[in-house]
Amino acid sequence: MVYVMSSFLESRELRKLYKEVRKDIKVGFIFLSRYEKARITGARALQISFGAPILVDKPKNLIDPIKIALLELKSKILPLTIRREYPSGEYQDIPINKLILKKD
């Protein structure tokens, strides 16, 4: 019974968040797709492995660039933009901090 109640509250919060995000995003879903997440994580991990500064406070034992990139993505501080396009040529550039990350 508690699980149902918490999922109800989560869905209520998600609906509120949906209304706020939908104002900004006109093309595509309000969620970051798994393909976009993989592309962003890979690109950021490559930057980190070549010596780019890390934008979050990381634990001392964390040295894997992919895990660091995921940590940065979840904290929503990456200054990256995704371009979503329709086949008609219409597109929108969306900052990734506007998109909702699904729970893994």
Residue 100 lies in a domain: no
pLDDT tens readout for residues 53-66: 999 998 889 999 99
Residue 104 lies in a domain: no
CATH number, domain at 43? Answer: 3.90.940.10
Helix or strand holding residue 92 (H, E): strand 91-95
- Inform me whether the pLDDT recorded for 101 exceeds 60: yes
pTM, 2 dp: 0.77
Domain residues for the domain of 83 are: 2-95
Number of domains in the chain: 1
Model pLDDT, residue 25: 82
Q: Are 93 and 24 in contact (CB under 8 A)?
A: no
Residue 102 lies in a domain: no
Mean pLDDT estimate for the chain: 84
pLDDT tens readout for residues 45-100: 999 999 999 999 988 899 999 999 999 999 999 989 999 888 888 888 989 888 88
Q: Which residues contact 103 (CB under 8 A, 6 or more apart)?
A: none
More confident of the two residues 88 and 15:
88
